[in-house]
Amino acid sequence: MPPGTFRLVRGPAQVAASDDSSELVVATRAATSIYHVDPDGGVSGLEADLVRRFAEEQRKPARFVVLKSLAEVRWALYTRRAHFAAAGLIDNPHWRSDARFTGPYRRVTPEVVYSVHHHRKLDDIEELDGLQVAVIADSAHAEMLEDLRRRAHLDIKVVRVDAGIDPVDLLARVEAGEIPYAVADSQQVQLAQQYYPSLAVAFELGPPQRLCWAFPLGREDRLYRRASDFFVRISANGELTRLAERYYGHLGMLSYQDVAGLLERRLSVLPRFAALFKRAQLRTGLDWRLLAALAYQESKWDPHATSVTGVRGIMMLTGDTADELGVGDRLDPEQAIPAAARYLAQLIEAQPSRVVDPDRLWLGLAAYNVGWNHLEDARMLAQRQGLNPASWLDIKRMLPNLAHPEMFSELKAGYARGGEPVSFVDSVRGYFDILRRFEPEYQAPLASTLSATSPR
């Protein structure tokens, strides 16, 4: 019987076998990289997306049972409260007495993390002797650290934090200097570093590990085989890579200086323009933090910014685009911000109907940077190479080719610095993530909403 106490005393009832059930019941945990409820009530996270995609193939809805710890997830499997678990699980030999794992959907490496502002870099586990190291209680990292501590005969002071904490929030405490060192996997560290730039990896605690789904032993054999086949198939056809791009494709684009600069200007500069971005949200429906992220990428929120190519202002509009949008003064944020928001909304709306979110947004941002005609050339190149012209991941691969003579000489719009829209979109995505974490969403007053949406 697995260790730990299942704290949901009145938790989910036992489920019928999946073939007899009208839905797939999935045990999970709330965490940025797994299952996250967005402010609008939607659910995001790579694992949640994978579950929904698998459930669609089974022609059944997925119902998530969100639990507080891995011990509860394991107990839910053991007591048949879920058909399977998708909870950021590492293929763990300690679970194999009562669970079995599918093939991996991702590989991650356990890392020892610290803040460069508060503590020194360590080179190996022996340097942890006598130091505090935080791990999430009942996690595979906790088991690994305890095992290494015993085998190396080290006095590592293992601090087990609340099993329900999001790993990103644990790493925020390291960045703040509350915890000297912590163990997290490489995926969680990458996510946290885009919000907390002083986080750094001291060393890897062990080899790469497999993230998998877990199924109860002795039951759900057919569903287990289908899930295993599902991962093999989506790994081979590229669908897994496309899903991962939604959450991780832009990570690592922003430098320490990029993130630190945004965080500083968020406090010193953004308040001057926040109302304009929120007003633009009312008119276009685009999140004000997305518009602010776009403006930061363009100008660092400098209304007088001017580039060598002649684009100007906080939104860096070209002269022709400003004229088309009726902007008389590109250096006036009260004109430039709403106009740029309208322009981006038009570019998003103009995407072909086969393009779905979030690719629709990212392709709209690419067009904002490189121009619609160059984006269309990239779509054509994608089609020629058997790629998906509705996929940002595939267009991202094609855009740099717009700068190659053997390519652009045959394209309608000709030469373009195609690498720039790739870095542009990924940078905007990074800044948007940061602002969503630290700035609240804007809920317009009812009267304003009615005014903005009423026919004229």
298 noted as active-site residue: yes
Place of tokens 């005609």: 373
The 3-class secondary structure across 120-157, one letter per residue, is: CCCCCHHHHCCCEEEEECCCHHHHHHHHHHHHHCCCCE
445 Cβ neighbours under 8 A, 6+ residues apart: none
Cα-only R_g, the chain: 24
Q: How far apart are CA 91 and CA 5, in angstroms?
A: 21
Candidates 25, 36, 29, 248; CA nearest to 137 is 29
Cβ pair 317, 339 in contact under 8 A: yes
Q: In whole angstroms, how far apart are CA 155 and each of 133, 138, 139, 151?
A: 11, 20, 20, 11
Token pair in block for residue 129: 């002797």
* 43 bridge partner residues: 37
N- to C-terminal Cα separation, the chain: 66
Q: Do β-strands 43-44 and 181-185 pair in parallel, antiparallel, or remain unpaired?
A: unpaired
Which residue in the list 47, 126, 298, 324 is annotated as catalytic? 298
Which pairing describes strands 24-29 and 62-67: parallel, antiparallel, or unpaired?
Answer: parallel
Q: Annotated catalytic sites, by residue?
A: 298
